[in-house]
Amino acid sequence: MSKRELIFDTETTGFDPMTGDRLIEIGLVEMVDKVLTGEHYHQYVNPERDVPESAVKVHGITTDFLKDKPVFSDIMDEFLEYVGTDSVLVAHNAEFDMRFINWELENAGRPIIHPKRFLDTLAIARTKFPGAANSLDALCKRFGVSNSHRTLHGALLDAEILADVYVELLGGRQAGLDLAVDAGASGPVRVKKEREKRSFPVSEDELARHADFITKLNDPIWNN
């Protein structure tokens, strides 16, 4: 039976939903039997509150940018349909993302996603590399995964980077994972399973507004 995993990340207004922080972005990429299918889910969420400047410096997502985005209850059914009932949810420091997602679900009167469905790549990395730096950036450097295009944190971008890191944590890019050898090619090539398209791309307007915001930042935290 095929195993579906969703490598994901979130962005938020802060660190703790119990003190009023909220989810503002969700990004998931799909992997089936350790094969990246090329499908993804991405959504910005209106938190119905201001985004603190300290959080904006991390991900670049402003209160103004989120004003016309749907609230979580409006995208909840679409999100739950994509996640399904048995897919494994893979995240780096998964407890953080799980708390925010489950708080939003509870707040909307829906059952939470069972904690056993979440897989934490940070815990895997700490077991594999005890005492070493195991942040996503540190793992990218250790495994030679490129993150040079990452100037700001973003849920979908970080999920895509984490997918590559996750494959390396499982043993690397081998046949039977997310790469296969094409008999007519000189090396391994990424394969894409044929599945019904369920992607949710970011609009050009959102990308343009996000890029415009980045150019206006003074002394961004990632330059320190």
Cα separation of 107 and 101, whole Å? 10
- For residue 205, the Cα-to-chain-centroid distance in whole angstroms is 21
Tell me the domains of the chain and their CATH numbers: 4-170 (3.30.420.10)
Could you tell me where the beta strands, DSSP code E, fall in 116-208? 118-120, 179-181, 188-190
d(CA 138, CA 126): 12
Each residue's pLDDT, cut to its tens digit, for the chain (224 residues) gives 889 999 999 999 999 999 999 999 999 999 999 889 999 999 999 999 999 999 999 999 999 999 999 999 999 999 999 999 999 999 999 999 999 999 999 999 999 999 999 999 999 999 999 999 999 999 999 999 998 776 667 999 999 999 999 999 999 765 444 443 333 333 333 334 444 444 445 556 656 665 565 555 555 444 44
Active-site positions read 153
For residue 201, the model assigns a pLDDT of: 54
Rounded to whole angstroms, how far apart are CA atoms 6 and 150?
Answer: 21
